[in-house]
A and B are shown apart, each in its own frame.
Chain A
Amino acid sequence: MGYSEEKLLEEKVFKDPVHRYVHVRDRVIWDLIGTKEFQRLRRIKQLGTTYLTFHGAEHSRFNHSLGVYEITRRIVDNAFASRPEWNEGERLLSLCAALLHDLGHGPFSHSFEKVFDLDHEDFTREIILGDTEVNQVLSRVAPDFPKKVAEVIEKTYENKLVISLISSQIDADRMDYLQRDAYFTGVSYGHFDMERILRVMRPREDQVVIKQSGMHAVEDYIMSRYQMYWQVYFHPVTRSAEVILTKILHRAKHLHEQNYTFKHKPHHFYSIFEDRMTLQDYLKLDEAVFLYYFQIWEEEEDQILSDLCTRFNNRNLFKYVEFDPAKEYKKLAKLSVLFEQAGLEPEYYLVVDSSSDLPYDFYRPGEEEERLPIHLLKKNGEIRELSRESEIVDAISGKRRTDHKLYYPADFLEKEKARPEIEQIAQILELNLDNGTI
């Protein structure tokens, strides 16, 4: 028996609060979980700064990756098993891709990638194909196996059905994170009948389709996605924390470029600041490392870096007002001048954040083939896009809802309210600095 078919003598199980148990029988999967690159995911939170809003949201990308693997395993071993459209030879590939799909995520990856113009998908590929323990395990299956796993994750593999298991509008990735994020944040949204969805999934040549009888379960999933987006992923307090985090990284980079002498040398960051980061440098980064620097940077001479880090560490975040760019962009220019006069650099202390800055998305019917939509399989064999059959989905996928907020340090304005420019700022932002409620 080859390595790819090797089973463990006894099944291993991970207790999991969302799926109850994660089952592992394949030797390859067990070996991948044990690699140092996969273990690193324990030190990267799934929801970044959301724990500053929902204190339970401390779960990691490790938990989520196991969850995606488990859902995929249930699909291929139960829902798809012995169906003629499913090629059993793709089973291990699907499981490995599901397990490793987030492998390249960095610490607080959303902000981190934005500031340094990185893409975790590039690192996922590099880890899978490079000189790593993960690559050693995958290469034992077959020399071209790492490449195939990378292609599935990048969505360029020839079998699109395999891709759609982990990357489509109803996939194992989303089904896990919606439920897991709901569980750990403690919100009552995000729940849907996954068992039912798994039972009505059918493999087709290019994608997974859903039997029409399962439409209501899918409606519930789409509603969960919609509610989680606005209630959790796009929470204004989390966005405030992301704004500060982004500004810390910008400031540190800027200082380095200005030849500023850091009291404590940021060794882990030099290669990123100088745009010469290797895979090994990248793998040394995790959230513990970032939080360590944020703590020591509180003592830096640079007021901005020190202030932003103190704010982040002590959760003294920026406040916000609703902002309508169409009507208020001229105000913004005025505010920038006033902030500068008040001694606050607007680049760091006056920030517009928009819904398009977020990495989460809504369901889209793909009217112009931008993205593949969810398809329902009707009794007569016809395939129809979900929103054409479901009024509920049609109602929420047709609505455009966007949102912009303007973030600023309310505590500073309060403290300095005697200054004339602060009074003007308060007027423009329609703040009442006298009652202490901002």
Chain B
Amino acid sequence: MLKDHAKIIHAISVSGEVIGRKKLQKMIYIAKKMEFPFQERFQFHFYGPYSEELTLRVEELCNMGFLDEVKEKKGGYYQYRYTLTEAGQEFLGETSIEMPCLGDCLTDINEQNARFLELVSTVLYFDNLPEAEVREKIQTVKKSQKYTDEEIDEAYAYIASLKTKSRQFA
């Protein structure tokens, strides 16, 4: 029961603190693409893969008092920080969520900047296409970000390293 909620709490718990809603979206999406069993459905939106279900679930967890959300002004816009509360910790202790390599992966993803994660998640979104087509697609759907070939190479290398990391205990 409430397994899907517990998985999100677990993800934030192993990440320590997540700064930014957009970052949280990308982290869970990338982890899902690494075959961690998150149930949230993602669709491609203006800024890349996005899950309304995840947004709602995080809202629910804040209302339950399991997550702490701090809204802070940053330049011309607002940013949100998420951490686990004591109640959330206690709840997590009652559940049996086991995702052994998730901590390693999410800590790594959490250290990357938002622009790079946007690219990584976009590459993963199109992973059913051949690489040449993915590269073309990125220049179309992410025109304004002006990603270079080197950055895309880096994204591919990063995905490969994450895949290894996510399967080290498999």
Contact = CB atoms under 8 A, between A and B. Distances in A.
A370 B44 contact: no
Contacts of A336: 1
A357 B56 CA distance: 9
A372 B53 CA distance: 16
Nearest to A155: B44
A361 B41 CA distance: 13
Given A121-B43, A155-B45, A368 B141 contact: no
Contacts of B103: none
B43 A155 contact: yes
A329 B91 contact: yes
A25 B6 CA distance: 53
A383 B43 CA distance: 26
B80 interface: yes
Contacts, number: 91
Given A158-B140, A372-B47, A367 B66 contact: no
Interface residues of A, number: 34
Contacts of B43: 121, 155
B55 A364 contact: yes
A325 B94 contact: no
Interface string A55-69: 000000000000000
Contacts of A326: 64-66, 87, 91
A355 interface: yes
Given A368-B21, A370-B25, A371-B50, A400 B62 contact: yes
Contacts of A324: 64
Contacts of B45: 155, 370-372
A402 B66 CA distance: 14
B57 A356 contact: yes
Nearest to B137: A156
A228 to B, nearest CB: 16
Contact of B22 (A121, A160, A370): A370
A357 B55 CA distance: 11
B22 A368 contact: yes
Chain B interface SS verdict (over half): helix
A356 B64 contact: no
Interface string B89-128: 0010010000000000000000000000000000000100
A400 B22 contact: no
B2 A368 contact: no
B165 interface: no
Contact of B44 (A154, A158, A356): A154
A352 interface: yes
Contacts of A370: 21-22, 25, 45, 47, 50, 55
Interface string B121-155: 00000100000000001001101000000000000
A348 to B, nearest CB: 13
Contacts of A352: 1-2
A332 B126 CA distance: 41
Contacts of B47: 369-372
B72 to A, nearest CB: 11
B35 interface: no
Of the candidates B25, B44, B94, the one having the most CB atoms from chain A within 10 angstroms of its own CB is B44
Contacts of A329: 1-2, 91, 94
A325 B78 contact: no
A337 B88 CA distance: 23
A49 B52 CA distance: 22
B169 interface: no
A249 to B, nearest CB: 16
A27 interface: no
B58 to A, nearest CB: 9
A211 interface: no
A276 to B, nearest CB: 18
Interface string A312-335: 000000000000111001101100
Contacts of B53: 356-357
A310 interface: no
A9 to B, nearest CB: 39
6 tightest CB-CB pairs across the interface, nearest first?
A356-B56, A326-B64, A372-B46, A356-B57, A402-B60, A368-B21
Interface of B: 1-2, 4-5, 20-22, 25, 41, 43-47, 50, 52-53, 55-57, 59-60, 62-66, 77-80, 87, 91, 94, 126, 137, 140-141, 143
Given A156-B137, A372-B45, 17 more contacts: A156-B126, A156-B141, A158-B140, A325-B5, A326-B91, A352-B1, A358-B56, A361-B52, A367-B21, A367-B78, A368-B20, A368-B79, A370-B47, A370-B55, A371-B50, A402-B59, A404-B60
18 contacts: A154-B44, A156-B126, A326-B65, A326-B66, A329-B94, A333-B94, A352-B2, A354-B60, A356-B53, A357-B53, A361-B55, A364-B55, A368-B77, A370-B21, A400-B59, A402-B56, A402-B60, A404-B60
